A and B are shown apart, each in its own frame.
Chain A
């Protein structure tokens, strides 16, 4: 790890100012990802601004009748929060599907959004990587790419976003509240993370100095019919090869509204409203679910070691939709 100076911010504005003024400064909260990357020399900040003492620790109601998660609430406290369990069980389930109990105690909700890819080449400073070093090339496209993306890739980068929590936040249409040098703004979750394109060094649309203050969950939590199906190499404590978050609003056997978000397959949680719309007013049958899977995976492209993910994702989408449908019958 490189040497760096350390300051502890007491106010959001101070934290924003410190990181805005110093281009090589970074925020640190739970630290579970940035310290790991610093040990690998992937991140080399000259200053860390500790934001853990900022007053962003509350889970409270928001004006839309939903829930507002303070950016510094831990992943564990969020997953076990009674209101999250009752109203947003999909979110609770996705959080508990990720990392380990220790890491969930440390990691924050805001920080989870900024997790960086676990692409082996991004972590290995001896290899080219456009995300780590723009213009150096992508080692994954013709390398070992078993864990890599099949959707929304570019010739520059085929990395995936590693978060489970973010897959639920995408399905739930969460909104991220940020504060920066130019004031406050809201970012729709679909616009928060980005595809790699020609600038894979940018994981998201947050600007320098902006800090996430909270995450808003809309009133609808799909608490009756939901599931998170995570497929991975171990039963626990492993990143998703493919994951599917589903929320259904059912009227008997008819689908009023469907949400389907995929993890482990793209540079961001993958949603396609046109695919979800195929179910609107339709029966919740396997045949219809297959059409959704076809639409969601349209244009999917494998790179050799990860080509299996296309069929895996197709089956996982159908199975997750069946699982979410079956819930009401119990």
Chain B
């Protein structure tokens, strides 16, 4: 685990604005101490300041799911989350799912089922699917469709996405 202390403010905070807040986040296994402006979303922190651009900004209003990441194992919309509020939490983004060259079963399934076209929604779809599997409530194909409805695919790759999640579910929860 590496630790990174940012000594420079990472937001452009002008004189007279409210103070920066110090937070400690574990991001993809690495602990980071950061100073953030209170209004920095978790999504902007990841993309703009930590160069973790795998997580995508789509609508920025919690409607499309492209920004989905896992916080303490649960999927959330990082665009509707203030970074400062997640002090002490573990964040997993799409960059943190593989173990070295070994892709996560969900990632493998997405490739096998060609579960994308343009790929912009894919990191959010994959993180959402990992969250869905962690939750353990999806038993049927219809459950998968319902529980993945927070992730919109503009290209309409839904049949491949559903097939990929179905396969990953079997790999990750062989008893289901």
**Chain A interface residues (CB < 8 Å from chain B):** 1-6, 8, 28, 31-32, 35-36, 39, 47-48, 50, 52, 76, 80, 99-103, 105-106, 235-237
Contacts and interface: CB of A to CB of B under 8 A. Distances in A.
B17 interface: yes
Contacts of A50: 84-85
Contacts of B62: 32, 36, 102-103
Contact of B128 (A1, A3, A36, A102): A102
Contact of B77 (A1, A4, A102): A102
Contacts of A52: 85
A31 B81 contact: yes
B171 interface: no
Interface string B29-42: 00000000111010
Contacts of B17: 3
Contacts of A237: 149-150
Interface string B58-93: 001110010010000011110011101101000000
Interface of B: 17-19, 21, 37-39, 41, 60-62, 65, 68, 74-77, 80-82, 84-85, 87, 128, 131-132, 135, 137, 145-151
A31 B146 CA distance: 23
B65 A100 contact: yes
A137 B144 CA distance: 44
B38 A102 contact: no
A6 B146 contact: no
Contacts of B147: 101
A308 B145 CA distance: 29
A85 to B, nearest CB: 11
B38 A105 contact: no
A73 to B, nearest CB: 13
Contact of A103 (B60, B85, B150): B150
Contact of A4 (B18, B60, B146): B18
B121 to A, nearest CB: 13
Nearest to A80: B137
Contacts of A39: 60-61
A5 B20 CA distance: 9
The 9 nearest A-B residue pairs measured at CB: A100-B150, A5-B18, A6-B38, A236-B149, A237-B149, A102-B150, A105-B74, A102-B77, A35-B80
B77 A236 contact: no
B145 A236 contact: yes
Given A4-B18, A6-B21, A36-B62, A106 B132 contact: no
